[in-house]
Structure 1
Amino acid sequence: MIIIGKNSRSALLVNKLREEEEYGIKTIGYVDEPYESGDNINFPSSVKYLGKLSSLKSILNNNIIDEVFIALPVKSFYDKIEDIIVICSERGIVVRIVSDVFLLNHTKNSIDLLGNIPLINISLGPEDTFKLFIKRYIDISLSCLLLILMLPVFVVIFILIKIDSKGPVLFIQERISCNNRRFKLLKFRTMISNAEDIKSELIKMNEMSGPVFKIKNDPRITKVGKFLRRFSLDETPQLYNVLKGEMSLVGPRPPLQDEVEKYSWKQRRRLSVKPGITGLWQVSGRNTLPFEEWIELDLEYIDNWSLGMDLKIILQTIYIVLSQKGAM
């Protein structure tokens, strides 16, 4: 193959092909305008300068070339790239374009066809549709099974909450899910019924950094609520949110709208996946972690997600909850 354009992208490509010999691709040279060739770009000595873009036809006619890799900037060389594709197609030579389109950190790029329309996909979250299907299947199966098995426990909790304090059994709060979808998160009520009304009076006692509010000895928590929180039983109604598809068993913590409004652009990336009942933050310190580290763990989960990671987090969560580590 030959490369069109001498720049940092083509240099990266040449070095990658030299490192990965299993590709079986031999780079014989490059084509570029002399004034376009950067002096600071070094190709291996085996990659020779073959000539200008205007000489491409004769270069292809006089050399054994199976493929042409175009490393020119698409935006500024669109017309020339179109001409190169025509010249190569007339000779049955495969053309590959080294993309420079929106190369951002943490993005996953792929190409699909919608009919005969090529689409460049740029994604921030997990992309494997089959694995996401399996994740959803596991969410439905486990949440349904646990809701059935825990029904007697729910009845006991219902009675205890009613005896302990006045107010509804369930605490329902609007949270933000994947891509800013709003949903009603369910929890067993662990605080007095007017807890949200007096929250503003306790802001100065907040023990968490960032836009998250937590107090270790929150005076609003009831006796039964303290027990439920210790073993995370207050979170179990969220199995219904999982069953409905609003949450997943594993994922970032579902934030409040006022928290999201304070996010930086980087922190907003945690909204690219469904929130979870548990997550990497849960098994790495629960409520003892500062907000910034909490966010980093969520982003690490998104960037490295796998079904195996989900299974590991679920098993670790069981141990963490039973050992009561990091509970608040």
Structure 2
Amino acid sequence: MTGYRGKRCLDLLLGVPALVVSLPVQAAIALVVRGKLGAPVLFRQRRPGLHGEPFEMIKFRTMLPVDADRGLVSDESRMTGVGRFLRATSLDELPTLWHLLTGRMSLVGPRPLLMQYLDRYSPEQARRHDVRPGLTGLAQINGRNAIAWEDRLRLDVEYVDTVSLRLDLRILARTVGQVLAREGIAAEGSSTMPEFTGSAGKEKS
């Protein structure tokens, strides 16, 4: 299952204009990031896409490089004021609009997480990869990073089972409100989201 008929058309219909309109904003952000954080401007990382196939996701950098001598080790210590603002407003995500053109991502779907998490999912949780990852999703409008991993992954699978045009439009509309309200940016006690170490109910091999 990869979604309903016309899902790809919706991605291009809304994504291409959004990308074009955002280009001047992206250029301005790139200059700010270059001036405040230095090079590179973009953060690049391999993430699992449809069926777990890896792709290189790009975002604007929000953190300083790891530097143990300066005490820059944890995410919290490496996060900058500019980075916090970009994350709070989701402006760091604008470069991911390019992935809509390549078909690596969809407007709506489970967020692409880390490659090392693939072996930590239960078989049920792994079904989140049965659709393309999204810029936003059902978990993002129900708490974003502020909800527990079990709830987040359950919502991802629920999306896979109920994906429809109506659901996607509802998620997109609620995402706008959530971004404006700057809700659920980080889990309690974390600058983003704590590491997923595995499901409590996962069977051991």
What is the TM-score with the length of structure 1 in the denominator? 0.53
> In the alignment, is residue 307 of structure 1 matched against residue 165 of structure 2?
yes
Q: Kindly tell me: are residues 126 and 166 of structure 1, through their superposed partners in 2, closer, same or farther at Cα, counting changes over 3 Å?
A: closer
Name the amino acid aligned to 2:59: K
1:137 is matched with which residue?
Answer: 9
Match of 2:200 in 1: none
- String of CA shifts for 1:221-254, please: whole Å, max 9, x gaps: 1221111000111111111011100000000011
Report the Cα offset of residue 303 of structure 1.
0.8
2:2 and 2:116 map into 1 onto residues whose CA distance is 26
Distance across 1 between alignment mates of 2:35 and 2:2: 45
Shift of 1:180: 1.9
Query: AA paired with 2:118?
Result: V
What percent of counterpart residues are identical?
A: 41
Find 2:153's aligned residue among 291, 295, 320. Answer: 295
Q: How far, CA to CA, are the matches of 1:246 and 1:152 in structure 2?
A: 23
Identify the residue that residue 258 of structure 1 maps to in structure 2. Answer: 116
For residue 126 of structure 1, report the CA deviation from its aligned partner. Answer: 5.4
For the 8 Å contact 1:249–1:277, the answer to whether it is kept is: yes
- CA distance, structure 2, for counterparts of residue 287 and residue 242 of structure 1: 23
After TM superposition, the structure 1 = structure 2 runs for residues 171-186 of structure 1, keeping only pairs within 5 Å, are 171-186=43-58
Rg larger in structure: 1
Instruction: State the distance in 2 between where 1:247 and 1:321 align.
Output: 19
The answer for the alignment partner of 2:33 in structure 1 is: 161
- List alignment gaps of at least 5 residues for structure 2: 187-205
- Tell me the equivalent position of 2:105: 247
Hey, which of these two has a bigger chunk of strand by percent? 1
1:95-110 mapped onto 2 (5 Å cutoff): none
Change (3 A) 1:147 1:126: closer
Instruction: Show CA shifts across 1:172-198 (max 9, x none).
Output: 100001112110101000011338xx9
Question: Which amino acid in structure 1 is aligned with residue 46 of structure 2?
Answer: E
Q: Shift of the alpha carbon at 1:144?
A: 1.1
Correspondence for 1:224: 82
Letter in 2 for 1:264: S
Count of residues paired in the alignment: 182
* Paired residues of 1:171 and 1:186 also in contact (CA < 8 A): yes
Are 2:47 and 2:114, in contact at CA under 8 Å, matched by a contact in 1? yes
> Given that residues 230 and 324 in structure 1 are in contact (C-alpha distance below 8 angstroms), is that contact kept between their aligned partners in structure 2?
yes
TM-score, with structure 2 as normaliser: 0.84
Does 2:108 align with 1:277?
no
Assess, with a 3 A threshold, how the Cα gap between structure 1 residues 160 and 126 changes in structure 2: closer, same or farther: closer
For the Cα contact (< 8 Å) 1:175–1:182, is it kept in 2? yes
**Higher RCO by CA contacts (8 Å cutoff, separation 6 or greater):** 2
Residue aligning to 1:9? none
> Contact 2:41 / 2:60 at 8 angstroms: preserved in 1?
yes
The residue correspondences of 1:1-328 to structure 2 (distance < 5 A) are: 125=1, 131-132=4-5, 134-194=6-66, 202=74, 218-328=76-186
Name the structure where helix makes up a greater proportion of residues: 2
